[in-house]
Amino acid sequence: RARGVKPNPYHVWLSEIMLQQTTIAAVGKYFAAFTTLWPTVQDLAAAPLDDVLVQWAGLGYYARARNLHACAIAVVEQHGGKFPSSAAALRDLPGIGDYTSAAIAAICHDEQVAVVDGNVDRVMARYLALPRPVREEKPLIRASVQAAVPKRAGDFAQAMMDLGATICAPRRANCLVCPLKSDCAGAATGEPL
């Protein structure tokens, strides 16, 4: 972004779909193979579904691969090969839900929309010191993140996800280096669970 290069919506979409229920370490070689075989959404849409499924082998959850192919076709046929820029329009595509649509819209187009994954849920649960389980507080978490989204929504989304993956990690929060520590209710208690 600093050099004026915007994220490629095709690459963001592909990585987000591949990363569902899968680790970054496992996805790397698959992402490289897909973008080599099918460098554009048009190429992926034109590929036979069986070829896509063969390349997907090992990532599991094959419905994701079928939806990936169907989505590529929809982007080409309904949107001229360009992903919609809004989260609302992206949600209408096969296999794209709230999280993925928000991630693409924020990261690629800076739409000021809350991008909330499991990492962000955990950060916010600790930050707000939620008294109830995350699953019961999803609307509050989404509203809190939405209220904080700045104009550089993509950078914010990626920073929040990275914060949850590295500093406010699942098993241990490293509050000493957390940029949110001064306002974190969980850190104030001394036990950010």
Structure tokens at 164: 């949850």
Which residues touch 168 (CB under 8 Å, ≥6 apart)?
A: 119, 122, 123, 126, 174, 178, 180, 192
Instruction: Name the catalytic one among 16, 77, 136, 191.
Output: 16
Distance in angstroms between the alpha carbons of the first and the last residue of the chain: 34
Answer yes or no: 16 catalytic. yes
C-alpha dihedral over 30, 50, 97, 89, to 10 degrees? 110
Q: Residue 139 in 3-state DSSP? A: helix
The answer to whether residues 44 and 24 touch, using CB atoms and an 8 Å cutoff, is: no
Closest Cα to residue 65, out of 109, 114, 18?
A: 18
Q: Active-site residues: which are they?
A: 16
